[in-house]
Amino acid sequence: MIEIGQYNTLEILRDTQVGLFLGDDEYDVLLPNKYVPKHFEIGDTLTVFVYLDHEERPVATTLKPYVTVDDFAFLEVSYINEFGAFLNWGLEKDLFVPFKEQAYKMQVGKRYFVYVFLDDKTNRLVASSKTNQFLSNNDITLSVNEEVELIIGNRSDIGYNVVVNKYHLGLIYFTDLSNDNLRPGDKMMGYIKNIRPDKKLDIVLEKPGYSRVEPNSKKILDKLKANKGFIGLHDKSDPEDIKSVLGMSKKIFKKAVGLLYKEKIIRIESDGIYLN
């Protein structure tokens, strides 16, 4: 079965003047000539994204959209007509947002946090900025300190709304952020800090306990995260190198590293320090 709005790995069935037809014994879809690879054989398989063309017919492409069906993204409005707004999602045909699915009236050139779904009535891929309707905190099976997948949503007065494991709604408070450099649509890992009695989820980006690290240790920790978990400094490093990289003295550096090591947050090797 060919899934609309998803990547499909399909067999090359036949070569025609307009492109390759891909599929199985029951369904097929056209991969237009502009996306056909230079070298292929009938019977080979290709991984393609399938969506609907301007005439609402399924079509395959090797282009990679910014988002697939049943997922969230932060997309820019390309144009608006009498039916709704159209978002740039990396494909030739823009993604439709009906007026009824707009939390606020959209404007050309602005970006919005949306959810992409397949409309049951029209069988079209559409987006909605009324994202909360696709999230639920009723059946939470998560636990405090558990690592979760996050998608950063819209900014509020007290923090960032986040999608947790693509299903739940959570919040990262500004007071729990060491740096306010998040962008809607960013994907990252986080942790459950608290599950409130009303089932609201408080989220943090650092494993609970890291926030209690003293400032200089926190500075080293942030630098480790920014450098893929490694800094080429140790207790024998030149003081000027430590000051250049971290902006602190060697004495302070050794004390801060010692605290991180004691908490088993880092490990110390001959070539530097690593984030556990």
pLDDT 10s digits, 139-190: 889 999 899 999 999 999 999 999 999 999 999 998 888 667 889 999 999 9
Per-residue pLDDT of the chain (276 residues; tens, 9 = 90+): 899 999 999 999 999 999 999 998 789 999 999 999 999 999 999 999 999 988 889 999 999 999 999 999 999 999 999 999 999 999 999 999 999 999 999 999 999 999 999 998 888 999 999 999 999 999 889 999 899 999 999 999 999 999 999 999 999 998 888 667 889 999 999 999 999 998 999 999 877 655 555 778 888 888 898 888 899 998 888 988 888 888 888 888 888 888 888 888 889 998 989 988
CA gap 165, 252 in Å, rounded: 39
**pLDDT at residue number 209:** 59
Query: Under a CB-based contact definition with an 8 Å cutoff, are residues 181 and 175 in contact?
Result: no
**pLDDT at residue number 75:** 97
Name the helix (H) or strand (E) containing 121.
none
**pLDDT at residue number 64:** 96
Cα separations (Å) of 100 from 169, 209, 212?
Answer: 22, 44, 45
**pLDDT at residue number 107:** 97
Half-sphere exposure of 196 (CA within 13 A, CB side): 10
What backbone torsions phi and psi does residue 234 show, to the nearest 5 degrees? -155, -175
CA gap 78, 6 in Å, rounded: 22
Which residue reads 């399938």 in tokens?
50
